[in-house]
Chain A
Amino acid sequence: MEKLKIGGLKQSLQLCQFDLRGVHSSKEIASKVSKLLLDQKINMEFLTYYQNKDSYHQLTFCISQDRFSATSKIIQKEGFLPVGWEIKSRKQVGIITIFPHQSAIKIVGIIMVSWTAHSIPIYGIATSLSALSFVTDYPLIGKAIEVIQALFQLPEDHSPLKPEIRYIQSDIVKGD
């Protein structure tokens, strides 16, 4: 059977993930958490947010792995989250981004089936204009990529899979 074509594939550096879930609160949770990360000068690599007004709100985000402990401490501090909100965190995750030409739902389905067969978990998915990003266990990211490479047809002139540069925003702010 002919493989589905995809436009490219890349992986992230090592990240960590936080899932926050609870019922409605007076303070917008996405705004509160993004303010906290701004204060800590932390860049969010991935975020999904959904509010189901009848039952729950969920905010999931991934940040650089080296900020796990500091962020975890602040979020778990009493009073930061509204009463009844729960936190789930994962210390080592990575993101695989696929650039599909089309058939995003089918691609999601194929990856769900194949990763499950290889015991590779999915912790989050988000689309952007032309990309599909999957969050999974960082220690399994190599295996996850191998599975994808076997399933889809990649272009011959495919760019490197791994990031070669890590950007860090300095504390020094230089004026114009």
Chain B
Amino acid sequence: METIAVYWEPRIKTYGFQRITDLALIEFSYPLSDIKNLGEIFSKDDFKILRPKFIISHVMHHEISFIVCLPLKEGKDFHASLKKASCATPCKYIHPVSILFFHGPHFGDRYGIADATFSSLSKAGMKILASGCSSASVFLVLAQHDIDKAEEILSETFEVAK
């Protein structure tokens, strides 16, 4: 079935912004040829207790890279476990970082949401460390000290439901 929708909001609506603070960002890469080995490490029960707030992964140059945000204590332990994994490239560990995330009634159905997000933050000179947009939601990882300013800018760009 094909549905053609005609709908355009003057300002894109969101249900509001939510944040998660005091996180560590861990980035590492692993050879694609050994992806099964990495999967086995992740499958261990030691990692079952971890509550990641953000995961993205991309593939390039025969490597799979992961960017994971965890609460500071869990991040430290995860980082230490990964250091023991022989094939992983040196990890990057950044802290403290925060996540700002939001979704709206038409996210997923329309274009322009990524542009509204990235362009407004870029114009204001804000640096996004990482981002993941899937399942009609936008997740932004920023340095902790940037989170207030980022929310302020996005609140001017998007219409927040009252």
Residues of A with Cβ closer than 8 Å to B? 19, 21, 28, 30-31, 34-35, 37-38, 41-52, 54, 58, 60, 88, 95, 97, 102-106, 108-114, 116-117, 122-129, 131-133, 164-170, 172-174
Q: In the bound complex, do residue B115 and residue A38 qualify as a contact, i.e. CB atoms below 8 Å apart?
A: yes
Q: In the bound complex, do residue A174 and residue B6 qualify as a contact, i.e. CB atoms below 8 Å apart?
A: yes
**What separation, in Å, do the CA atoms of A111 and B57 have in the docked complex?**
14
Q: Contacts of B133 on A, CB cut-off 8 Å?
A: 44, 46-48, 126
B40 within 8 A of A: yes
**What separation, in Å, do the CA atoms of A169 and B57 have in the docked complex?**
29
- B39 partner, pick from A44, A109, A126, A127, beta carbons under 8 A: A109
Known: A41-B111, A106-B48, A169-B109. A30 touches B7 (CB 8 A): no
Q: Contacts of A174 on B, CB cut-off 8 Å?
A: 6, 8
Known: A38-B112, A46-B133, A105-B55. A170 touches B4 (CB 8 A): yes
B161 within 8 A of A: no
Known: A46-B133, A106-B42, A133-B134. A168 touches B2 (CB 8 A): yes
B145 within 8 A of A: no
A-B CB contact pairs (8 Å), 17 listed: A31-B119, A38-B114, A47-B132, A50-B56, A95-B134, A105-B68, A106-B42, A110-B42, A114-B39, A116-B39, A123-B59, A125-B57, A126-B57, A126-B139, A127-B134, A132-B55, A169-B7
B35 within 8 A of A: yes
Q: Contacts of B65 on A, CB cut-off 8 Å?
A: 50, 58
B110 within 8 A of A: yes
- B132 partner, pick from A34, A58, A127, beta carbons under 8 A: A127
Q: Contacts of B129 on A, CB cut-off 8 Å?
A: 50-51
Nearest chain-B residue to A104 (Cβ)?
A: B52
Nearest chain-A residue to B41 (Cβ)?
A: A109
Nearest chain-A residue to B125 (Cβ)?
A: A28
Q: Contacts of B117 on A, CB cut-off 8 Å?
A: 34
B67 within 8 A of A: yes
Nearest chain-A residue to B53 (Cβ)?
A: A127
The minimal Cβ–Cβ distance linking B108 to chain A, given in whole angstroms, is 8
Q: Contacts of A21 on B, CB cut-off 8 Å?
A: 60
A-B pair number, CB within 8 angstroms: 205
Number of B residues near A (Cβ < 8 Å) is: 64
The minimal Cβ–Cβ distance linking B34 to chain A, given in whole angstroms, is 10
Nearest chain-A residue to B66 (Cβ)?
A: A125
Q: Contacts of A112 on B, CB cut-off 8 Å?
A: 35-36, 38-39, 42
**What separation, in Å, do the CA atoms of A133 and B54 have in the docked complex?**
12
Known: A28-B118, A42-B111. A128 touches B135 (CB 8 A): yes
Given A49-B128, A106-B48, A126-B57, 18 more contacts at CB 8 Å?
A: A34-B117, A35-B115, A43-B109, A44-B111, A46-B134, A47-B134, A48-B56, A48-B130, A48-B131, A106-B42, A109-B43, A112-B42, A124-B56, A125-B56, A127-B54, A129-B135, A131-B135, A174-B8
Q: In the bound complex, do residue B57 and residue A122 qualify as a contact, i.e. CB atoms below 8 Å apart?
A: yes
Shortest 4 CB-CB contacts between residues of A and residues of B? A109-B42, A112-B39, A109-B43, A125-B57
